[in-house]
Chains A and B, each alone.
Chain A
Amino acid sequence: MPEPLPRSRLFRLLLRLYPSEYRARYGREMELLFEEERRASDGGGLVFLGQIVLDHIQASMAVRLAKGREGRMGMEMLVEDFKNGLRTLRRAPTFVLFATMTLALGIGATTAVFTVLDRIALRPLPYEDANRMARVGARFRHAPDEVGVSSPAMLAALIEAPGPAESVVGVAGGGAIFVGRGDPVRVGLSLVSADYFRFFGARPAVGRLLSESDHMPGAPPVVALGHGFWRQRFGGDPAVVGSTIRLDDQPYTVVGVVEAGPVAPQGFMGGGDVWLPVDPRGERASGSFFVNIVARLRPGATLKELDDHARRIVAEVYGDGGPIFVTGAGAVDLRRYVVGDIGSTLGHALAAVVLLLLIACANVSSLLLARAAERSREFAVRAALGAGQRRLVRQLLAESSLLAVTGGMGGATLAFGGVALFRRYAPEGLPRIGEAAVDVRSLAFAFGVSLVTVLIFGLLPAVRGARQGSLAGSARLARGASASREEGRIRGVFVLIQTALSVVLVIGAGLVTHDLLRVAGEDPGFRTDGLIGMVVDLDGRPAGDERAAAEPFWTELLEGAGGLPGVETAALASEIPYGPPGIVSIFTPEGHEELEGGALVPVVPFLGDYSGVMGMRMVDGRWLSPAEMDGSAAVAVVNEAFARTYWPGEAPVGRYVKSGAPGIDDEGGYDVVGVVADVRSRPGVDATPQLFVPFAAEPRDHLELVVRTKGDPARIAPALRALVRRLDPGLPIMEVRTVASLSRDALGRSRFYTGLFSAFALIALALALVGVYGTTAYATRLRTREIGIRRVLGAGRSSVVGRVIVHSAGVVGLGVAVGLVVAALGSRVLSELLVTIDPGDLQTYTVVGVFVFLAGVFAAWLPAHRASCVDLLDTLREEG
């Protein structure tokens, strides 16, 4: 009769109860014993089997319990190591303070940058299925690689035929004059297509959001209010739901308020004060492109499919007669679009702080090495008392871990401040920066970094210290000359690494600073001081105001502004430098009739003494005369960039610029009477072609009043506001700002990164110099006797100092050289941050190299000088 379960197999199962090493040792023996027991019990009945099973369960539990107790012994030993470490460290408070602060700086900076990078670039956008969201839009001739805005007709076509997309929504910004509750204000409108709020998972704070039926043609006019606008204008009053508000004199019923916080990523929210439902269907294929489209892919569909689909849709919508500036269409991942190049910039910042952290680690590590050398007697005693090398390593690592933990805690605290600074000084338009905050992920990161730093800075000193301990025995002078020479070499390598790393950082900071200084110092082509600008918008004035009828208002405004006390001159123009960009029109410059689609040129209509107010310089010909301002003469002034681009090497004065594309001959044109020096439209950006024409020739309802003042231009702002209110109380009050502040804002981003990199570089340099100082101080202290003897033998003080300096200069110089090479190889990554200078800029490299070298030599000179002042008698006495 076959046995149901072979006994030996059951026994092998029972053996599984034991720990593997126990099984390996006794398993075979137990099995033999089991066989003998079984034979003795006549083959082994059920009772026998039951006894066996119970026996092994009991025994295996006992074995495992005993093993656990042994593990606890290990824990006790660990606790003991940490207690020892704590005691040792408490005896060296200065060292602990210094090491903790160094590590805290490194860990804190790294954690802060990681936190910001994580929030902005690493985490998915905070929407459901955000990884399937994409921006869809037209591609334009001036930027064919980018996916830009779309036309309402494109949106309509995509909604009708979404192809690989599950859902398609569009949003456009707009403005309207809101009257009621205080001064009339211009509010930012968000015109959204159906399903917009559901797409981003937005919820109402009060009432409801826009529904499908609100978008239907003929639906009653309704709006949802933005949270900020509701709080600001309605004091957060929930009773606003159901009331009627007036926008551009049209009544709308408020259905609800959007919850606080951004509804959609930057660039997909429009104005955000008031949300209006629109229906793009039925829009004809016009040449206006102002809609931002987002689509969510069906699960499984690819971005490539959507890209192809968008191209087909544009071809369908526009056929062959599309706008000449549209080259196609495409789709791009939404997160990539929103984050853009910020991710890589922050990546550079993270790389910079990692270098900083490495310098901090090298610093603490060389300190620990020096301490280990000094404590070799203590280690020898411990070794003599029976502590093995492994135990010594553990004890030293425990000390390092304690340092890392305190450094990590300090770092986490610093990270809170660092992120707050980041948010405060972040340049305008840094996406998602509002979300940045130190959280569990950041703290986990700080903790992880601290652990890694222990390995980086603690392992080498621990292993060396322990080896010394067991080698040294109890003899005091057992540390042989070769051992101390080897130590000297290790210290030298640390100095070299620190110097090289700090050179890399300082060069990075030097490049961006140099670039910023150059941009800030360059000639903008006009006088920025004493200028103040104010946007005046007649859009939305009570109906019946035609552009031509508005001209008396502009003249009155100009005269009023010119007559204000403190004002030298005033002018009105469609755009001013450093301000928001104006309108681009199509022209055909003489001699370019074959240019397909014509030339896109920003045209600047103006009123008053624009060139005088701006302080522009004539290069050729003349500015427009007051008599020509009525527009009848059809004359214009171009800038140098225009002349360079279209008539290189030719005289522009007397040539003709035709309005409209080639072949369209009913739009008139301008005779060029003068050329002005280029004016930068943004700092650091080369001027683009511009055409200045009389206001009468190209009237606008949106102009910028620009005034040159004596003294501080900001003081005139209230008078300008009062003037506008007096002329038309129904006009919205717009922001008034000095051109100097516009320039500051425009430079904000580069200022920010420059500040960031400079801060890192300064900390790094300081740490590195402290490292050089500490290492040299330690080395000279070791050599105090030698120095003393040399002096007794007649060596002068300067020659003793000289020897130390020459040695340190060699190490520091090598470090600088290595750093320069590494920086030269790595600085290419910074090129996208640099506007005017090359990442290989020789001047920066030279200045930084010389500076770090001199600073390093100085840091070495200090302790050497002190050592040379040593009392000769003391040295001799010690020797005796």
Chain B
Amino acid sequence: MSARHARSTTTGPMTTRTLQILLSLVDGPLHGYGIKQSVEERTEGRVRLGSGTLYEAIHRLVGRDWIAEVDPPRGYAGSSGGPPRRFYSLTAEGRTQLRAELRRMDAVVSFARGRDLLADSGG
């Protein structure tokens, strides 16, 4: 199984949704609703994740071995009184992929800075 997914390491640019989900896991494991809140806060509601699309993305990223399901952090279970939730965390592979994507973006941004493309709108 793992051999097959290893092929997907050389991916092109990520979708905004994938990038945002990976970013929201940088500080530690979150459950689905936590990811959704983190993404929507950070993007000020520009990226919205419905219950369907969120889990479709999670399923896909788990399949690619970029994120993995982990045990809930200690002390979580009692805090909201709700049922246990599935928590997800970045894997090493996910971190690598995120870094690669950010470098690609950085290159694009550096290029834009060099041509002074950001100055006008940056004001």
Contact = CB atoms under 8 A, between A and B. Distances in A.
Question: Are the chains A and B members of one assembly?
Answer: yes
Interface of A: 14, 22, 25-26, 28-34, 36-37, 51-52, 55-60, 62-63, 66, 73, 386
Q: Name the prevailing secondary structure of the A interface residues.
A: helix
17 contacts: A14-B52, A22-B59, A26-B59, A29-B85, A30-B51, A30-B55, A33-B33, A36-B33, A37-B50, A52-B52, A56-B51, A56-B52, A59-B50, A59-B52, A59-B53, A60-B52, A60-B56
A32 B55 contact: no
Interface string B29-42: 00111001000000
A52 B86 CA distance: 21
A26 B85 contact: no
B108 to A, nearest CB: 27
Contact of A30 (B3, B52, B60, B83): B52
Interface string B2-15: 01100000000000
Contacts of B56: 59-60, 62-63
Q: Name the prevailing secondary structure of the B interface residues.
A: helix
Nearest to A17: B52
A221 to B, nearest CB: 86
A55 B32 contact: no
Contacts of B83: 28, 32
Given A33-B55, A55-B50, A386-B3, 13 more contacts: A14-B52, A26-B86, A29-B31, A29-B55, A29-B86, A32-B83, A33-B32, A57-B52, A58-B52, A59-B50, A59-B52, A60-B52, A60-B56
Interface residues of B, number: 21
B23 interface: no
The 8 closest A-B pairs by CB, nearest first: A55-B50, A59-B52, A56-B52, A59-B56, A33-B51, A55-B52, A26-B55, A30-B51
A818 to B, nearest CB: 47
B53 A33 contact: no
Given A29-B85, A73-B4, A37 B59 contact: no
A29 B60 contact: no
A52 B50 contact: yes
Interface in B54-110: 54-56, 58-60, 63, 82-83, 85-86
Contacts of B4: 73
A31 B4 CA distance: 32
Contacts of A36: 33
A52 B59 contact: no
A799 B106 CA distance: 85
Contacts of A73: 4
B32 A29 contact: yes
Contacts of A26: 55, 58-59, 86
Contacts of B53: 55, 58-59
Interface in B8-28: none
Nearest to A55: B50
B52 A32 contact: no
B69 to A, nearest CB: 9
Given A33-B32, A73-B4, A59 B60 contact: no
Nearest to A30: B51
Contacts of B31: 29
B18 to A, nearest CB: 12
B59 A33 contact: no
A66 B60 contact: yes
Given A29-B86, A32-B82, A33-B32, A55 B51 contact: yes
